[in-house]
Protein backbone atom coordinates (compact mmCIF):
# COMPACT_ATOMS: atom_id res chain seq x y z
CA UNK A 1 0.00 0.00 0.00
CA UNK A 2 1.30 3.46 -0.96
CA UNK A 3 2.54 5.62 1.93
CA UNK A 4 0.82 9.01 1.92
CA UNK A 5 1.38 11.98 4.23
CA UNK A 6 -1.16 14.75 4.85
CA UNK A 7 0.61 17.93 5.96
CA UNK A 8 -1.43 20.35 8.03
CA UNK A 9 -1.39 22.46 11.20
CA UNK A 10 -2.32 25.84 12.63
CA UNK A 11 -6.04 26.56 12.76
CA UNK A 12 -9.07 24.33 12.47
CA UNK A 13 -9.52 25.68 8.94
CA UNK A 14 -6.42 23.73 7.90
CA UNK A 15 -6.73 20.71 10.18
CA UNK A 16 -10.39 19.80 9.73
CA UNK A 17 -10.01 19.34 5.94
CA UNK A 18 -6.92 17.21 6.65
CA UNK A 19 -8.97 14.86 8.84
CA UNK A 20 -11.66 14.66 6.14
CA UNK A 21 -9.04 13.80 3.51
CA UNK A 22 -7.74 11.14 5.89
CA UNK A 23 -11.19 9.54 6.08
CA UNK A 24 -11.54 9.59 2.30
CA UNK A 25 -8.16 7.99 1.67
CA UNK A 26 -7.53 5.64 4.61
CA UNK A 27 -8.81 2.51 2.81
CA UNK A 28 -6.59 3.04 -0.23
CA UNK A 29 -3.38 4.39 1.30
CA UNK A 30 -1.22 4.01 4.38
CA UNK A 31 -1.67 7.50 5.83
CA UNK A 32 0.19 9.65 8.34
CA UNK A 33 -0.55 13.24 9.34
CA UNK A 34 2.01 15.94 10.17
CA UNK A 35 1.11 19.02 12.17
CA UNK A 36 2.59 21.76 14.29
CA UNK A 37 1.78 22.06 18.01
CA UNK A 38 -1.13 24.43 17.34
CA UNK A 39 -2.83 22.01 14.99
CA UNK A 40 -2.47 18.98 17.26
CA UNK A 41 -5.24 20.29 19.53
CA UNK A 42 -7.70 19.55 16.71
CA UNK A 43 -6.43 15.99 16.20
CA UNK A 44 -7.28 12.79 18.06
CA UNK A 45 -3.89 11.33 18.95
CA UNK A 46 -5.49 7.90 19.38
CA UNK A 47 -6.91 7.94 15.87
CA UNK A 48 -4.19 9.45 13.72
CA UNK A 49 -0.50 8.68 13.26
CA UNK A 50 0.86 12.16 13.94
CA UNK A 51 4.30 13.59 13.27
CA UNK A 52 4.87 16.98 14.92
CA UNK A 53 6.91 19.39 12.81
CA UNK A 54 6.69 22.62 14.75
CA UNK A 55 7.38 25.39 12.25
CA UNK A 56 7.86 28.77 13.99
CA UNK A 57 5.36 31.47 13.05
CA UNK A 58 6.96 33.72 10.47
CA UNK A 59 7.57 37.17 11.94
CA UNK A 60 7.59 40.41 9.96
CA UNK A 61 10.48 41.65 12.10
CA UNK A 62 13.58 41.52 9.88
CA UNK A 63 15.82 41.03 12.93
CA UNK A 64 14.32 37.55 13.39
CA UNK A 65 14.71 36.66 9.71
CA UNK A 66 18.14 34.95 9.95
CA UNK A 67 16.96 32.82 12.87
CA UNK A 68 13.78 31.87 11.03
CA UNK A 69 15.62 30.94 7.86
CA UNK A 70 17.99 28.77 9.89
CA UNK A 71 15.09 27.14 11.75
CA UNK A 72 13.26 26.32 8.53
CA UNK A 73 16.49 24.97 7.00
CA UNK A 74 16.87 22.58 9.96
CA UNK A 75 13.21 21.55 9.62
CA UNK A 76 13.71 20.85 5.91
CA UNK A 77 16.62 18.54 6.77
CA UNK A 78 14.51 16.80 9.43
CA UNK A 79 11.63 16.51 6.95
CA UNK A 80 13.90 14.87 4.37
CA UNK A 81 15.02 12.24 6.88
CA UNK A 82 11.44 11.69 8.04
CA UNK A 83 10.07 11.27 4.50
CA UNK A 84 12.86 8.84 3.58
CA UNK A 85 12.47 6.85 6.78
CA UNK A 86 8.69 6.51 6.32
CA UNK A 87 9.11 5.91 2.57
CA UNK A 88 6.48 8.54 1.81
CA UNK A 89 5.46 8.51 -1.86
CA UNK A 90 2.72 11.15 -1.87
CA UNK A 91 2.17 14.34 0.13
CA UNK A 92 -1.06 16.32 0.34
CA UNK A 93 -0.67 19.78 1.87
CA UNK A 94 -3.67 21.69 3.23
CA UNK A 95 -1.70 24.94 3.06
CA UNK A 96 -0.23 27.31 5.62
CA UNK A 97 3.38 28.07 6.48
CA UNK A 98 3.40 24.90 8.64
CA UNK A 99 3.73 22.82 5.47
CA UNK A 100 6.71 24.70 4.00
CA UNK A 101 9.51 22.33 5.16
CA UNK A 102 7.70 19.20 3.99
CA UNK A 103 6.70 20.70 0.65
CA UNK A 104 10.29 21.81 0.01
CA UNK A 105 11.57 18.38 1.06
CA UNK A 106 9.10 16.73 -1.31
CA UNK A 107 10.59 18.67 -4.21
CA UNK A 108 14.14 17.68 -3.20
CA UNK A 109 13.16 14.01 -2.99
CA UNK A 110 10.90 14.15 -6.07
CA UNK A 111 7.86 13.02 -4.06
CA UNK A 112 4.45 13.60 -5.63
CA UNK A 113 2.86 16.71 -4.15
CA UNK A 114 -0.85 17.56 -4.14
CA UNK A 115 -2.29 20.76 -2.70
CA UNK A 116 -5.67 21.61 -1.21
CA UNK A 117 -7.16 25.12 -1.28
CA UNK A 118 -10.64 25.47 0.27
CA UNK A 119 -10.66 29.27 0.18
CA UNK A 120 -11.61 31.45 -2.77
CA UNK A 121 -8.20 33.15 -2.61
CA UNK A 122 -5.04 31.17 -3.32
CA UNK A 123 -3.05 30.88 -0.08
CA UNK A 124 0.53 32.14 -0.03
CA UNK A 125 2.04 28.77 0.83
CA UNK A 126 0.09 27.02 -1.93
CA UNK A 127 1.12 29.74 -4.36
CA UNK A 128 4.77 28.84 -3.76
CA UNK A 129 4.23 25.25 -4.88
CA UNK A 130 1.55 25.29 -7.59
CA UNK A 131 4.20 25.06 -10.31
CA UNK A 132 5.61 21.86 -8.85
CA UNK A 133 2.48 20.09 -7.60
CA UNK A 134 0.61 17.45 -9.56
CA UNK A 135 -2.86 18.86 -8.84
CA UNK A 136 -4.53 21.30 -6.48
CA UNK A 137 -8.00 20.49 -5.11
CA UNK A 138 -10.30 23.55 -5.11
CA UNK A 139 -14.03 24.24 -4.87
CA UNK A 140 -14.04 26.43 -7.99
CA UNK A 141 -11.95 27.27 -11.04
CA UNK A 142 -12.33 30.95 -10.13
CA UNK A 143 -9.91 31.13 -7.21
CA UNK A 144 -8.46 34.62 -6.86
CA UNK A 145 -4.71 35.22 -7.35
CA UNK A 146 -4.44 31.94 -9.27
CA UNK A 147 -2.19 32.21 -12.37
CA UNK A 148 -4.42 31.82 -15.42
CA UNK A 149 -1.95 29.61 -17.29
CA UNK A 150 -1.83 27.13 -14.40
CA UNK A 151 -5.58 26.64 -13.96
CA UNK A 152 -5.34 23.32 -15.80
CA UNK A 153 -3.91 21.77 -12.62
CA UNK A 154 -7.06 22.62 -10.62
CA UNK A 155 -9.18 19.61 -9.73
CA UNK A 156 -12.61 20.95 -8.74
CA UNK A 157 -14.37 18.97 -6.00
CA UNK A 158 -17.55 19.66 -4.00
CA UNK A 159 -16.81 21.23 -0.58
CA UNK A 160 -15.34 18.76 1.91
CA UNK A 161 -17.62 17.82 4.80
CA UNK A 162 -17.06 15.69 7.85
CA UNK A 163 -18.78 12.35 7.34
CA UNK A 164 -21.34 12.88 10.09
CA UNK A 165 -22.90 15.75 8.12
CA UNK A 166 -24.19 13.35 5.48
CA UNK A 167 -26.30 11.58 8.12
CA UNK A 168 -27.24 14.67 10.16
CA UNK A 169 -31.00 15.02 10.50
CA UNK A 170 -32.03 18.65 10.23
CA UNK A 171 -35.18 20.42 11.36
CA UNK A 172 -34.34 24.07 10.83
CA UNK A 173 -37.58 25.60 9.55
CA UNK A 174 -38.79 28.78 11.23
CA UNK A 175 -41.81 27.89 13.34
CA UNK A 176 -42.78 29.04 16.79
CA UNK A 177 -39.25 29.42 18.18
CA UNK A 178 -36.12 31.15 16.91
CA UNK A 179 -33.09 28.97 17.49
CA UNK A 180 -30.07 31.17 16.87
CA UNK A 181 -26.63 29.62 16.36
CA UNK A 182 -23.52 31.78 16.80
CA UNK A 183 -20.21 30.42 15.43
CA UNK A 184 -16.96 32.27 16.05
CA UNK A 185 -14.62 29.66 14.50
CA UNK A 186 -11.54 27.89 15.83
CA UNK A 187 -9.81 31.18 16.64
CA UNK A 188 -12.78 32.57 18.54
CA UNK A 189 -14.46 35.89 17.75
CA UNK A 190 -14.66 38.47 20.53
CA UNK A 191 -17.08 40.59 18.53
CA UNK A 192 -19.53 37.69 18.58
CA UNK A 193 -19.42 37.70 22.36
CA UNK A 194 -20.00 41.46 22.75
CA UNK A 195 -21.46 43.61 19.97
CA UNK A 196 -24.23 41.20 18.97
CA UNK A 197 -25.59 41.03 22.51
CA UNK A 198 -27.89 44.01 21.90
CA UNK A 199 -29.38 42.27 18.87
CA UNK A 200 -29.93 39.10 20.89
CA UNK A 201 -31.75 41.17 23.52
CA UNK A 202 -33.96 42.75 20.86
CA UNK A 203 -34.83 39.35 19.42
CA UNK A 204 -35.63 37.94 22.85
CA UNK A 205 -38.23 40.72 23.33
CA UNK A 206 -39.95 40.01 20.01
CA UNK A 207 -39.73 36.21 19.70
CA UNK A 208 -39.42 33.04 21.68
CA UNK A 209 -35.64 32.55 21.53
CA UNK A 210 -32.96 30.02 22.31
CA UNK A 211 -29.28 30.65 21.56
CA UNK A 212 -26.53 28.12 20.84
CA UNK A 213 -23.29 30.04 21.23
CA UNK A 214 -19.82 28.80 20.28
CA UNK A 215 -17.10 30.65 22.16
CA UNK A 216 -13.74 30.13 23.82
CA UNK A 217 -13.74 28.68 27.33
CA UNK A 218 -12.38 31.92 28.81
CA UNK A 219 -15.59 33.72 27.82
CA UNK A 220 -18.02 31.13 29.18
CA UNK A 221 -18.63 32.84 32.53
CA UNK A 222 -19.31 36.33 31.18
CA UNK A 223 -21.64 35.02 28.46
CA UNK A 224 -23.43 32.74 30.88
CA UNK A 225 -24.04 35.73 33.15
CA UNK A 226 -25.39 37.78 30.23
CA UNK A 227 -27.89 35.10 29.23
CA UNK A 228 -28.88 34.39 32.84
CA UNK A 229 -29.36 38.08 33.66
CA UNK A 230 -31.67 38.52 30.66
CA UNK A 231 -33.51 35.19 31.06
CA UNK A 232 -32.49 33.99 27.60
CA UNK A 233 -32.30 30.24 27.13
CA UNK A 234 -28.89 29.24 25.88
CA UNK A 235 -26.30 26.54 25.42
CA UNK A 236 -22.61 27.41 25.24
CA UNK A 237 -20.05 25.20 23.53
CA UNK A 238 -16.49 25.42 22.20
CA UNK A 239 -14.84 24.53 18.90
CA UNK A 240 -14.05 20.97 19.91
CA UNK A 241 -17.73 20.12 20.45
CA UNK A 242 -19.94 18.49 17.83
CA UNK A 243 -21.06 21.51 15.82
CA UNK A 244 -23.27 19.41 13.52
CA UNK A 245 -25.53 18.71 16.51
CA UNK A 246 -26.06 22.43 17.12
CA UNK A 247 -26.51 23.18 13.42
CA UNK A 248 -29.20 20.52 13.20
CA UNK A 249 -31.15 22.17 16.03
CA UNK A 250 -30.88 25.76 14.73
CA UNK A 251 -32.85 27.76 12.18
CA UNK A 252 -30.69 30.91 11.87
CA UNK A 253 -26.92 31.29 12.22
CA UNK A 254 -24.47 34.18 12.61
CA UNK A 255 -21.00 33.06 11.57
CA UNK A 256 -17.50 33.90 10.42
CA UNK A 257 -16.59 32.90 6.84
CA UNK A 258 -14.24 29.97 7.28
CA UNK A 259 -14.45 27.66 4.26
CA UNK A 260 -15.37 24.57 6.30
CA UNK A 261 -18.09 26.29 8.32
CA UNK A 262 -19.74 27.85 5.27
CA UNK A 263 -19.67 24.52 3.43
CA UNK A 264 -21.38 22.83 6.39
CA UNK A 265 -24.05 25.51 6.79
CA UNK A 266 -24.88 25.49 3.09
CA UNK A 267 -25.02 21.70 2.97
CA UNK A 268 -27.51 21.65 5.86
CA UNK A 269 -29.52 24.49 4.24
CA UNK A 270 -29.15 26.52 7.43
CA UNK A 271 -29.96 30.19 6.88
CA UNK A 272 -26.99 32.33 7.91
CA UNK A 273 -25.61 35.84 8.21
CA UNK A 274 -21.89 36.03 7.50
CA UNK A 275 -19.59 38.51 9.25
CA UNK A 276 -16.17 37.84 7.61
CA UNK A 277 -13.03 38.28 9.68
CA UNK A 278 -11.55 41.52 8.27
CA UNK A 279 -7.98 40.58 9.23
CA UNK A 280 -7.99 37.24 7.37
CA UNK A 281 -5.00 36.90 5.05
CA UNK A 282 -5.62 38.26 1.55
CA UNK A 283 -9.20 38.95 2.66
CA UNK A 284 -10.06 35.31 1.97
CA UNK A 285 -13.05 35.24 4.35
CA UNK A 286 -14.75 38.02 2.40
CA UNK A 287 -14.13 36.12 -0.84
CA UNK A 288 -15.49 32.90 0.70
CA UNK A 289 -18.66 34.73 1.74
CA UNK A 290 -19.03 36.40 -1.67
CA UNK A 291 -18.68 33.04 -3.43
CA UNK A 292 -21.76 31.68 -1.64
CA UNK A 293 -23.58 35.00 -1.91
CA UNK A 294 -23.13 34.69 -5.67
CA UNK A 295 -25.03 31.41 -5.41
CA UNK A 296 -27.80 33.18 -3.45
CA UNK A 297 -27.04 31.37 -0.20
CA UNK A 298 -26.40 34.01 2.50
CA UNK A 299 -26.50 37.54 3.85
CA UNK A 300 -23.22 39.42 4.47
CA UNK A 301 -22.52 42.23 6.93
CA UNK A 302 -19.03 43.73 6.98
CA UNK A 303 -17.57 43.90 10.49
CA UNK A 304 -16.58 47.57 10.17
CA UNK A 305 -20.20 48.43 9.29
CA UNK A 306 -21.97 46.28 11.86
CA UNK A 307 -24.12 47.87 14.52
CA UNK A 308 -27.07 46.87 16.64
CA UNK A 309 -29.61 48.30 14.18
CA UNK A 310 -28.45 46.73 10.91
CA UNK A 311 -27.84 43.33 12.48
CA UNK A 312 -31.21 43.34 14.25
CA UNK A 313 -32.98 44.57 11.10
CA UNK A 314 -31.38 41.79 9.05
CA UNK A 315 -32.38 39.12 11.56
CA UNK A 316 -35.96 40.42 11.77
CA UNK A 317 -36.19 40.60 7.96
CA UNK A 318 -35.09 36.96 7.71
CA UNK A 319 -37.71 35.90 10.24
CA UNK A 320 -40.55 37.97 8.80
CA UNK A 321 -39.78 37.70 5.07
CA UNK A 322 -40.58 34.04 4.48
CA UNK A 323 -40.22 34.19 0.68
CA UNK A 324 -36.62 35.39 0.85
CA UNK A 325 -35.89 32.83 3.58
CA UNK A 326 -37.28 29.97 1.48
CA UNK A 327 -35.48 31.22 -1.64
CA UNK A 328 -32.13 31.07 0.15
CA UNK A 329 -32.87 27.55 1.37
CA UNK A 330 -33.69 26.40 -2.17
CA UNK A 331 -30.49 27.95 -3.53
CA UNK A 332 -28.48 26.00 -0.96
CA UNK A 333 -30.22 22.77 -1.96
CA UNK A 334 -29.44 23.46 -5.61
CA UNK A 335 -25.78 24.13 -4.85
CA UNK A 336 -25.34 20.81 -3.03
CA UNK A 337 -27.09 18.42 -5.38
CA UNK A 338 -23.77 16.75 -6.34
CA UNK A 339 -22.18 16.82 -2.91
CA UNK A 340 -22.04 13.23 -1.67
CA UNK A 341 -19.33 11.35 0.17
CA UNK A 342 -18.91 8.84 -2.67
CA UNK A 343 -18.66 11.47 -5.42
CA UNK A 344 -15.92 13.36 -3.55
CA UNK A 345 -14.18 10.12 -2.58
CA UNK A 346 -13.91 8.89 -6.16
CA UNK A 347 -12.85 12.30 -7.47
CA UNK A 348 -9.96 12.59 -5.01
CA UNK A 349 -8.75 9.00 -5.40
CA UNK A 350 -9.00 9.08 -9.19
CA UNK A 351 -7.10 12.37 -9.34
CA UNK A 352 -4.28 10.99 -7.18
CA UNK A 353 -4.07 7.68 -9.07
CA UNK A 354 -4.08 9.37 -12.46
CA UNK A 355 -1.14 11.59 -11.54
In this predicted model, what pLDDT tens digit does every residue of 24-34 receive, in sequence order? Answer: 999 999 999 99
137 and 33 belong to one structural domain: yes
Residue 316 scores a pLDDT above 60: yes
316 and 347 belong to one structural domain: no
pLDDT at 162: 93
Pairwise CA distance, residues 170 & 270, whole Å: 9
Residue 10 scores a pLDDT above 90: no
89 and 237 belong to one structural domain: no
pLDDT tens-digit series, residues 68-122:
778 888 899 999 999 999 999 999 999 888 899 999 999 999 999 999 999 999 9
Tell me which of 25-29, 147-151, 301-305 is least confident: 301-305
203 and 56 belong to one structural domain: no
347 and 198 belong to one structural domain: no
Q: Output the domain CATH number for residue 28.
A: 3.40.50.2000
pLDDT at 43: 87
148 and 225 belong to one structural domain: no
* Enclosing domain of residue 64: 3-158+340-354
Q: Where are the alpha helices (DSSP H) in 183-283?
A: 190-194, 197-206, 220-229, 243-249, 259-267
225 and 315 belong to one structural domain: yes
Tell me which of 59-63, 99-103, 144-148 is least confident: 59-63
What percent of the chain has pLDDT above 90?
66
Residue 59 scores a pLDDT above 70: no
144 and 76 belong to one structural domain: yes
Q: Structurally, how many domains does the chain consist of?
A: 2
Residue 186 scores a pLDDT above 70: no
236 and 135 belong to one structural domain: no
Pairwise CA distance, residues 195 & 183, whole Å: 14
171 and 275 belong to one structural domain: yes
What global pTM score does this model have?
A: 0.91
pLDDT at 126: 94
134 and 257 belong to one structural domain: no
92 and 204 belong to one structural domain: no
Amino acid sequence: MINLLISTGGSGGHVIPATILYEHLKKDFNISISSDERGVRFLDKNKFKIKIINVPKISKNIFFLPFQIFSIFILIIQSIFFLKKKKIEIIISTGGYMSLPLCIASRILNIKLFLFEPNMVLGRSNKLFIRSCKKIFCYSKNVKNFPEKLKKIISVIPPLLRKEFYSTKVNNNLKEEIKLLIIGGSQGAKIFDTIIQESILELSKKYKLKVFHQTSSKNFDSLKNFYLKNSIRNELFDFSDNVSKFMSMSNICITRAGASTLAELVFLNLIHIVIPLPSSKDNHQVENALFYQGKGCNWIINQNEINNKNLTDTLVNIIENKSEYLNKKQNMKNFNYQNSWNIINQKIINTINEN
